[in-house]
Amino acid sequence: MQRLGRKVLFGHVLLLAAGALVGWLYDQVVVGLLVAALLGLGWQLRQLLKFEQALRDKHFGRLRYGDGIWSQLYSRFNYQRSQSKQNKKNYRQLVKEVRKSTNAMPDGGIILNSDFEIVLCNKAAQRVAGFRRRQDRGQRVDNILRDPTFGAYLKKGKFDTGIEIRSPIVEGAWLHCRIVPYGADQLLLLIQDVTERRRLAAMRRDFVANASHELRSPLTVVSGYLDTLAEEENIPANWKRPLAQMQIQTGRMNKIVAELLELSRLESAGEARRDEIVDVCGLLAATKKSLAGQDAIPQVVVDCNSRARLQGSTAEIESVITNLLSNAVRHTKEDGTITMSWTSDEAGATLTVTDTGIGIEPEYIPRLTERFFRVDPGRSREGGGVGLGLAIVKHILERHGATLHIESSPGSGSSFQCAFPAERIAAAPPVPITGSTVS
């Protein structure tokens, strides 16, 4: 038994003994014991009532007094109370610090519940996107950010990437919005002002487009003269080789300029058109046909497993197929095989170009769609590549809401998969009824 317990027990035994002794003096031991027990009980009750009163009045000063187990109880209670006061103070301080730091953030931060209702937001959210910290609490966030793209983003519920929308409060400003789920059902919406970044990107785009445009006319003149010179019969024999090389190089420059202009056009255009229906299977067959007559190229197989058609730009999808096929042809030996397939399911449709060629080292795969990136620049140049083909493919796919997935293993071949979302798939045409007409 603990020391305090022994002390309490001893005190009570002493009281009962005193009661018994006094009772014995008057020949009333039981009465004496009873009176002593009642006195002990009464005192305990008084202490209990005092404690209860102090709790009710929140007047804890008087709890300093007491005796035995009560004094211990009071001091422990007072200690716990002061501890909890200190904890509360620390907690308040912490909340203050968190609030101060989130308010110092340059980007807007908004905490949303699972119904996309605003729970809290920082000062930057007010400055960048016009959120009002008190009034907007409990409102659905798409009541404040009314851009349809943002509404579609919430509806889709896929938050692994962000989106860019126009600012609801500043004309010409752009915001990058990204939702990050956390905790059980909480979401954090991060809003960043990307106006400056977009302006710089537009400047770079314009510069490349203008420079390419300016280069086009002189290049056309130079190529024209070179072609004329090459056709000249009286030209000295030692000029023939340099002339042929100049023709190859101007041809290459023309290709670079044309592809840079095409990239600029794709970058500045928005979403791809939806009013045109693309017959992907037909395009695959036509692209295969265009290779007919070329020597020393691998076997090309078209595998059309779906009749699904695409809402998009025929010219652009054709450019995707041509780029992927010409890459596959350039990187596959003539005894290899290239398979172009078109499949669909309820999630969308996929265009795949697979080859049994040289393959690509895994570390290069994430860089393939960068402009002018080539795994082997010398080899690519020899084959007529300028390093812009896959950048064009990526942009065209983005405009169609599609993604490019590349799988490759060095020495075994590569597979380029273009996955189109279901919302871009047009209803398949009815199967033509075949039969003979009896006249």
Give the binding range for ligand ADP (CB under 6 A) out of 7-15, 34-42, 366-374, 428-436: 366-374
Shorter beta-carbon distance to ligand ADP: residue 309 or 331: 331
The one-character DSSP state at 403 is E
Query: Smaller CB distance to ligand ADP: residue 77 or 373?
Result: 373
Cα dist from 98 to 102, 122, 132, 295, 314, whole Å:
6, 10, 19, 69, 53
Quick note: the x/- pattern for ligand ADP over 377-416, rule CB under 6 A, is ---x----xxxxxxx----------------------x--
Applying CB under 6 A, does 298 fall inside the site for ligand ADP? no
Secondary structure (DSSP) of 188-226: EEEEEE-HHHHHHHHHHHHHHHHHHHHHHHHHHHHHHHH
Under 8 Å between Cβ of 131 and 110: yes
Task: Closer to ligand ADP by CB, 93 or 290: give it.
Answer: 290
Please tell me the distance from the alpha carbon of residue 80 to that of residue 60, in angstroms, as a whole number.
12
Q: Does 374 bind ligand ADP (CB under 6 A)?
A: yes
Residue 368 touches ligand ADP, criterion: CB under 6 A: yes
Min separation Cβ 431 and ligand ADP, Å: 34
Beta carbon nearer to ligand ADP, 216 or 252: 252
Q: Which is nearer to ligand ADP, 147 or 407 (CB)?
A: 407
Which residue(s) pair with 100 in the sheet?
none
Closer Cβ to ligand ADP, 283 or 390, answer by number:
390
Ramachandran area for residue 190 (φ above 0: left; ψ -120 to 50: alpha; else beta): beta
Give the Cβ contact number of residue 360 at 10 Å. Answer: 19
Please report which helix (H) or strand (E) contains residue 114, including its range.
none
For residue 226, the minimal CB distance to ligand ADP (Å) is 23
Q: Where is 302: in which H helix or E strand? A: strand 299-304
| Only segment of 9-17, 167-175, 322-330, 422-430 that touches ligand ADP (CB under 6 A) | 322-330
Q: Which residues bind ligand ADP (CB under 6 A)?
A: 323, 327-328, 331, 355, 357-358, 360, 368, 373-376, 380, 385-391, 414
